[in-house]
Chain A
């Protein structure tokens, strides 16, 4: 379907077909004929077959729609915005966050608060980092703005809690150092696109 089709607002004029629903019977004789026809028609058996077919498909062909939720979960989209994760660098194992503070700045519900300081090597390190999940609206701006793909949205979407305010610390969201090999790269907003290499151009220094 091309763009022109989408832009055509005169719906109902192009690819619609009307179903033949017959005509309303006029007079006693036509009504009687319709009733007699419908009485001997096997239309009701079509309905019976549909449900039986679904039952056979569900029982013997594994076409069951139910997902027993707490025991089995549907896969979620990589772009799903759930509880945040803090990723580490795969090579060194140190965290990716450079303490730039962009996520805190862009957060529209003011739920991220962070504090940074210079460590002994005069490099910035994160001393305080909390996300208030009672305020967070999971808009995804923090992950989108992060220049290092350090704060991303993880797959944990079961965030029901007993209290409204729920603070998560930096260390809680950080990938455990012993599970670094299990760390998944983030595909959602802010991540580089799959064809990023093709889009790389030379820096326009000519002008």
Chain B
């Protein structure tokens, strides 16, 4: 009797409940928002170091409390809605960006799964999963949600009655039409190899150490996905949407205060999402057997995050027509050839 109790208990604990998922959602919201805020600090610091500057230094030790100062500024700034703007769409657009970014995060594995200890009142013993919803079309869902997030800049630029905003939203459409093909086609080859759209299956397929990482089998797809990911998150060299040297601030020209901050949080959440996808799909993900696996995936995500800042410090950005040329005439053919070669190798 006692032996059976001990044996059945772990399985009963690891049942995913609605409470666990809600807790997970709250954790994702809180932590990713905080990381997005911290990301601005990291970005300013890294860019500063690469230009031999110090970056924020005076608010708190090494400028660490600059995030708090920025947060206070964003929350207390006046929320201006331009007179001729389409007010409803103008006010809803930033929410689309932030919401889709977080919805996309619901289907990717973030942080290890754990059980809340028994001594915690009310929630004791609840199992919190690593993925809020482990759906079997995870990759498709995440990419679709991130693509839907582009509606934020698109509607924001069109609703604000500002010429720079209009140009920004036009560029959003251009960018969307360009990179989305490359994203889908580049990630298709790894999907063919693994035979599943679930992130957990991707992780399990690469659990045999560094040698089994998909980057060795699909280096071209990895590079293509990275390029498309940069376009997807509006990072330099593809930050056409709000390149301030050309179109003031693009789609975000008329935004102020927290609405602008939501665009920002959405962008940083998207950066984290792309980093997670790249780590899980190509770089082995988290090793479920190893206790240090979660540390390694955090290192991988941090590397991709750093790469985005690094690239921003190093490379000039491209023109919209160059982006379309690059995506349609260079990257898409390479992606198709990669898929064909992968298919031939798989069949032979």
Binding site for B on A (CB under 8 A): 35, 39, 44, 47-48, 50-52, 54-55, 57-59, 63-66, 68
CB <8 Å contact, A55 and B50: yes
- Besides A48-B314, A48-B315, 19 more A-B contacts (Cβ < 8 Å) are A39-B330, A39-B334, A47-B314, A50-B314, A51-B50, A51-B310, A52-B50, A54-B49, A54-B51, A55-B46, A55-B50, A58-B53, A63-B52, A64-B53, A64-B54, A65-B52, A65-B53, A66-B52, A66-B54
CB <8 Å contact, B54 and A51: no
Of the candidates A35, A57, A58, A59, the one having the most CB atoms from chain B within 10 angstroms of its own CB is A58
Find chain A residues with CB under 8 A from B314 CB: 44, 47-48, 50-51
* A38: nearest chain-B partner, CB-CB: B330
Contact with A along B53-71 (1 / 0, CB 8 A): 1100100000000000000
Find chain B residues with CB under 8 A from A55 CB: 46, 49-50
CB <8 Å contact, A48 and B311: yes
CA gap between A55 and B49 in the complex, in Å? 5
Cβ of B313 < 8 Å from any Cβ of A? yes
CB <8 Å contact, A59 and B330: no
Q: How far is the CB of A39 from chain B (nearest CB, A)?
A: 7
CA gap between A168 and B49 in the complex, in Å? 43
* Complex A-B, nearest 5 residue pairs according to Cβ-Cβ distance, in ascending order: A65-B52, A51-B50, A58-B52, A66-B54, A47-B314
Q: With A35-B330, A47-B315 as known contacts, state yes or no: A52 contacts B310, CB within 8 Å.
A: yes
CB <8 Å contact, B54 and A68: yes
Would you give 24 A-B contacts (Cβ < 8 Å), ordered by A? A35-B330, A44-B314, A44-B315, A47-B315, A48-B310, A48-B315, A50-B314, A51-B314, A54-B49, A54-B52, A55-B46, A55-B49, A55-B50, A57-B52, A58-B49, A58-B50, A58-B52, A59-B49, A64-B52, A64-B53, A65-B53, A66-B52, A66-B53, A68-B54
A-B contact count (CB 8 A): 43
CA gap between A65 and B53 in the complex, in Å? 6
Interface size on B, residues (CB 8 A): 15
Contact partner, B313, options A44, A51, A64, A65, Cβ 8 Å: A51
CA gap between A58 and B54 in the complex, in Å? 9
* B316: nearest chain-A partner, CB-CB: A47
Find chain A residues with CB under 8 A from B52 CB: 54, 57-58, 63-66
Q: How far is the CB of A59 from chain B (nearest CB, A)?
A: 6
CA gap between A47 and B46 in the complex, in Å? 16
* B53: nearest chain-A partner, CB-CB: A66
Find chain A residues with CB under 8 A from B311 CB: 48
CA gap between A203 and B315 in the complex, in Å? 68
* B325: nearest chain-A partner, CB-CB: A35
Q: How far is the CB of B50 from chain A (nearest CB, A)?
A: 4
Residues 52-93 of B at the A interface (beta carbon under 8 Å) = 52-54, 57
CA gap between A52 and B53 in the complex, in Å? 13
Q: How far is the CB of A35 from chain B (nearest CB, A)?
A: 7
CA gap between A113 and B326 in the complex, in Å? 72
Q: How far is the CB of A17 from chain B (nearest CB, A)?
A: 25
Find chain B residues with CB under 8 A from A68 CB: 54, 57
* B329: nearest chain-A partner, CB-CB: A35
Of the candidates A51, A52, A58, A64, the one having the most CB atoms from chain B within 10 angstroms of its own CB is A51
* A36: nearest chain-B partner, CB-CB: B330
